[in-house]
Amino acid sequence: MVQPNHMERASKLIRGLRLSGDVLSAEDLACAVWPQAVGQRIAAHTRACRMVRTRLIVEVEDHIWQRQLFALTPYILNNLKKSFGPGLVEDLEFRIVPRRREPQRAAQAVPALFPDEADGIADPVLRGIYKASRKKAQA
C-alpha cells in the first residue's frame, strides 16, 4: 500500500506534468520523477528517456558520468522508491548520448564591426596624427 506522503508527491508531480488524457504510464511517472530523485546538478547532465520493463534507461553525457552514476545506483533507486513506492523502477541503465551542440549564431561567428586600432591610443592628438598618416598611406 502506498503511504499518504507518496500520494501527495505523486499528485503534485502529475499536476506539474500537464499531460493530456486520463492515463499516466509508469514510464511517464519515472521520467518525471528523475530530476527530483537525483537533484538539479545531476539532472542537468542526464535525461531519463524510457522504461524497459522495470529498468529505467537514462542518457548521460559521457563515460565519466556513466561510471559515477553507476556507483550511485543504489542511492538513486532508493530515492525513486521514496518518490512513488517500490516495484516501479528496479534497475537503471546509463547510456552515453553526447549533448547536441547548439547552432552557432552569426553574431558569434563574425565580429560585429572591425574595431579601429587607433581607438587604443589614449591621447586624442596622437590618435588624430595616426589616423591622418594611415589615411595618407592608403591613398
Domains contained in the chain, CATH given: 4-96 (3.30.300.180), 110-138 (no CATH)
591621447: which residue's cell? 123
Q: What is the DSSP letter of 22?
A: S
Kindly report the backbone phi and psi dihedral angles of residue 51, in degrees, each rounded to the nearest multiple of 5, phi listed first. Answer: -115, 140
592628438: which residue's cell? 125
Q: Which of 72, 81, 3, 100 is nearest to 36 (CA)?
A: 81
CA-based R_g, the chain, Å: 28
* 108-137 tens-digit pLDDT: 555 555 577 778 888 888 888 888 888 888
Distance CA 41, CA 35 (A): 9
* 25-84 tens-digit pLDDT: 888 888 888 998 899 999 999 999 999 999 999 999 999 999 999 999 999 999 988 887
- Confirm if 56 and 49 have CB atoms less than 8 A apart: no
